[in-house]
């Protein structure tokens, strides 16, 4: 089942179920509001609201205002190796704020003052239940579904200090979507920039998978419905290339996860 938050022509947003032939209204302002409902899965599956054609939908971020956006660094074996690091014993965590998120087909706003804006294709995990100190089984049950994320990063800001946040949370820089899939057959993750394939890996290459991450983070803080976890990027980022390569105004970035869909974004000056 695919769930999305779409923008209305007159303003506002609404949650929909994406069927093969239509987007079906769910009676909520966004997917985050739906996920706070007890029995949201059955409610979404049974919904029979207004139907819209799927072509031309204006996708907002799947959860426009998550309580938390938690990101993971150094979580693909290939990426860790290209950065010259050893496999971690624990997840490397940092955060974003909700204003960093943008829709699956929206423009990416390049951070003003940065000359080193990089791409990072990622698998996103959306939490579907409140969970604290979760076992692996409880963590698995708390997964609402998966989405596509690109953790666009200003490398020069990121490495100004040992803390990464300032390079990671520029406004309107992080595409997510187009939908949340509750039961995808996950496969290959790729990122293409201006028609050139830059990243290609299997989501099975994750060091810490979705359930492991939810269990770990929930030991630190309660995870809430709608929280987004970006699980890390594989090898092929621009900063690691020789010479390095970065995004510029007009660059088209396509982030795809097999079985999930894609984000397709054009970069504009901030």
Do residues 160 and 233 share a domain?
A: yes
On average, the pLDDT of the chain sits at 95
pLDDT digits (tens, 9 = 90+) for 204-263: 899 999 999 999 999 999 999 999 999 999 989 999 899 999 999 999 999 999 999 999
State how far the alpha carbon of 55 is from the alpha carbons of 5, 22, 50, 135, 262, in Å. Answer: 15, 9, 15, 41, 15
The CA-based angle 118-94-145, given to 5 degrees, is 85
Do residues 34 and 92 share a domain?
A: no
Q: Is residue 57, in this structure, part of any structural domain at all?
A: no
Q: Is residue 46, in this structure, part of any structural domain at all?
A: yes
Q: Is residue 139, in this structure, part of any structural domain at all?
A: yes
Identify whether the C-beta of residue 77 lies closer than 8 Å to the C-beta of residue 87: yes
Do residues 37 and 160 share a domain?
A: no
Q: Is residue 234, in this structure, part of any structural domain at all?
A: yes
CATH number at residue 223: 3.90.850.10
Residue matched to tokens 């190796």: 81
Instruction: With a cut of 80, say whether residue 80 has pLDDT above it.
Output: no
Do residues 91 and 204 share a domain?
A: yes
Q: Is residue 220, in this structure, part of any structural domain at all?
A: yes
pLDDT digits (tens, 9 = 90+) for 13-25: 999 999 998 999 9
Do residues 152 and 190 share a domain?
A: yes
| Distance from C-alpha of 174 to C-alpha of 8, rounded to nearest angstrom | 21
Q: Is residue 62, in this structure, part of any structural domain at all?
A: no
Instruction: With a cut of 90, say whether residue 107 has pLDDT above it.
Output: yes
- By residue range, what is the domain housing residue 136? 69-269
Q: Is residue 64, in this structure, part of any structural domain at all?
A: no
Do residues 172 and 220 share a domain?
A: yes
CA dihedral sign of residues 121, 128, 20, 22: negative
Instruction: With a cut of 80, say whether residue 82 has pLDDT above it.
Output: no
How confident is residue 85, by pLDDT bands cut at 50, 70 and 90? confident
How confident is residue 9, by pLDDT bands cut at 50, 70 and 90? confident
| Distance from C-alpha of 230 to C-alpha of 15, rounded to nearest angstrom | 21
| Distance from C-alpha of 254 to C-alpha of 149, rounded to nearest angstrom | 11
User: Pick from 243, 153, 229, 145: which is nearest to 191 by CA?
Assistant: 153
Do residues 27 and 139 share a domain?
A: no
Do residues 154 and 98 share a domain?
A: yes
Instruction: With a cut of 80, say whether residue 83 has pLDDT above it.
Output: no
| Distance from C-alpha of 189 to C-alpha of 201, rounded to nearest angstrom | 5
Number of domains, the chain: 2
Do residues 46 and 156 share a domain?
A: no
Q: Is residue 38, in this structure, part of any structural domain at all?
A: yes
Do residues 45 and 94 share a domain?
A: no
Average pLDDT value for residue range 20-45: 96
Say if strands 143-150 and 174-181 run parallel, antiparallel, or are unpaired.
antiparallel
Look up residue 218 and give its two tokens: 């929930």
Do residues 122 and 186 share a domain?
A: yes
Q: Please tell me the predicted confidence (pLDDT) of residue 161.
A: 93
Identify whether the C-beta of residue 166 lies closer than 8 Å to the C-beta of residue 94: no
Do residues 101 and 198 share a domain?
A: yes
């Amino acid at each position: 089942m695919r769930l999305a938050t779409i923008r209305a022509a007159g303003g506002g947003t609404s949650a929909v179920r994406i069927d093969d032939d239509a987007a079906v209204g769910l009676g909520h302002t966004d997917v985050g509001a739906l996920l706070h409902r007890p029995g949201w899965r059955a409610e979404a599956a049974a919904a029979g609201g207004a139907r819209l054609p799927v072509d031309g939908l204006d996708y907002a971020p799947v959860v426009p205002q998550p309580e938390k956006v938690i990101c993971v660094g150094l979580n693909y074996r290939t990426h860790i190796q290209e950065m010259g690091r050893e496999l971690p014993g624990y997840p490397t965590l940092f955060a974003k704020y909700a204003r960093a998120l943008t829709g699956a087909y929206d423009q990416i706003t390049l951070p003003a003052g940065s000359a080193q804006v990089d791409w990072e294709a990622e698998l996103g995990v959306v939490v579907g239940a409140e969970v604290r100190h979760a076992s692996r089984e409880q963590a698995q049950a708390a997964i609402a579904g998966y989405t596509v994320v690109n953790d666009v990063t200003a490398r020069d800001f990121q490495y100004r200090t040992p803390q990464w946040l300032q390079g990671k949370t520029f406004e309107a820089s992080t595409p997510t979507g187009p939908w949340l899939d509750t039961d995808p057959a996950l496969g290959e993750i790729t990122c293409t920039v201006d028609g050139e394939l830059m990243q290609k890996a299997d989501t099975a290459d994750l060091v810490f998978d979705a359930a492991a991450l939810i269990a770990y983070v929930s030991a630190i803080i309660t995870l809430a419905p709608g929280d987004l976890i970006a699980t890390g990027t594989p090898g092929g980022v621009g900063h690691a290339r020789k010479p390095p390569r970065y995004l510029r105004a007009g660059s088209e970035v396509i982030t795809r996860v097999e079985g999930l869909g894609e984000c397709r974004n054009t970069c504009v000056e901030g």
